[in-house]
Amino acid sequence: MVGPNQYGDFFSLFAFCFLFQVLLDLGIQNYNITEMSQNSSTPAKHFAYRLGAKLSLSLLYSLVIVIMASVVAYETKFWRLLPWIIGIQIFQSISIFLRSHFSINKLYSWDSLLSILDKLLMIIWLGSLIYIQRENIDILDFAKVFFWSNVISCGVILLLLINRLEIVGLSFSWNYTKDLLRKSFPFALVFLLMTLYTRMDAFMLERLLDDDSYNAGVYAAGFRIYDAVNMIGYLFATLLLPMFSAIIGRAKALSQLVNTGFQMISFIAVTVALICIGFKEEIMTLVYTDTNTAYYNSFAWLSGSFVFVCMGYIFGTLITAGRDLRVFNMILLSGIFVNWTCNLFLIPKMGAEGAALATFITQCCVGMAQIFLAFSLFSLSIRWKEMAKPILHIILLACIIFISRKYLALNWMYLVSIVAILSLIISFIIGQVHFAQWKKIILGRDMKK
């Protein structure tokens, strides 16, 4: 059997190529959503050409991967895995493209359900395979299951798309594809810059410290949890982008939607961040066997930055919906400089904690800049009472966590449950949580004219 380290270079190749493909996909997807949400005739008119462009770019991607793999001259065992990995990435890309048409047409519940279909199929299929074969599973079996789960998921999405929206077709135009790539470039650049300033910390830890990558591992331990939790904010962004795009010219409706989205995400972000900070030792000890103060402090700074990341998911999404991304990209470029500068000074002194602190400072600066830019571009009305609610929530919840840890002799998991319930109650009392407004957003009713 092939050892895990023998796949290192192989997956490094795919990590680089897949990153490029993902950035391009996200750029095209966000451009499609903003344009089609603002122009109801666009989906039926351009779907066929965009699907053709998507497939042609996927074929080009496959060709590049095969050429690069040939140059590297991988062994036979890697070539057996190669087509399955390429197929997984292509069908995931197509799935994202197809699903975006449900959110554009206000079918948000369908989009949410279909987004987990491939993962659900893989878990059930692979779980059954492991139960039956037990010790005879290798990475090739995993790749095959993942591939066919994506194929089935794509097929289901396509059938539903044909049945509900009736806009499916396939055409190709090289001129149209070039024009699509040109218009999508600013959107792809947003994701590229965001990726750079959020991922350079681990790279700089390895380069600035001669410690056998120990601090990079400490930082990565907390970052994995932080990155997983960030999916909450990303889901909000994908939900709100078509809504913002559809009402971009209606100031009153836009302000109302921004305020509702802000209250929703701030409630979740504050609750998650403060629980992670207040119970940092217990959470890290639960996930990892060998931890120390550096693990806890690094994770705490990353958890704090989650609040500002979530603010960016609201206001950055609004700026993206406006489609004028020049200043936005300048802010993100500045974020790279801030992150690089902070890491340069903090990592040699504080190691992993310094990198986490640099992330917190960067996300704070970028998040606040996005808020000011959004208010400036769209003339949003500032409701100081609404802006004060998250601050009050932070103060009250921090006090509850402190008191509960000091005076309640309960298992920490019970304490977390109590804190989460009290957080919801506080948010309801101070008016931060409005279930009726949340329901309107989920159902897309705020988009109706």
Phi and psi, residue 35, nearest 5°: -70, -45
Report the alpha-carbon distance of residue 120 to residue 326 in Å, rounded. Answer: 39
Nearest to 112 by CA among 274, 286, 236, 250: 236
What pLDDT, on the 0 to 100 scale, is given for residue 364? 93
Residue 318 CA neighbour count, 13 Å, CB half: 32
Between the CA atoms of 90, 94, 100 and 102, what dihedral angle is there, to the nearest 10 degrees? -140
- As given in the structure block, the two tokens for residue 242 are 């078509």
What pLDDT, on the 0 to 100 scale, is given for residue 36? 63
pLDDT average per 10 residues of sequence, the chain (449 residues): 45 54 63 62 64 79 76 68 83 81 72 79 82 72 87 88 70 76 77 78 83 86 87 78 78 81 87 92 88 91 92 88 83 91 91 92 92 86 75 90 86 90 88 67 50
What pLDDT, on the 0 to 100 scale, is given for residue 288? 87
- pTM confidence score: 0.77
Nearest to 318 by CA among 386, 372, 383: 372
Contact 64, 20 (CB under 8 A): no
What pLDDT, on the 0 to 100 scale, is given for residue 124? 86
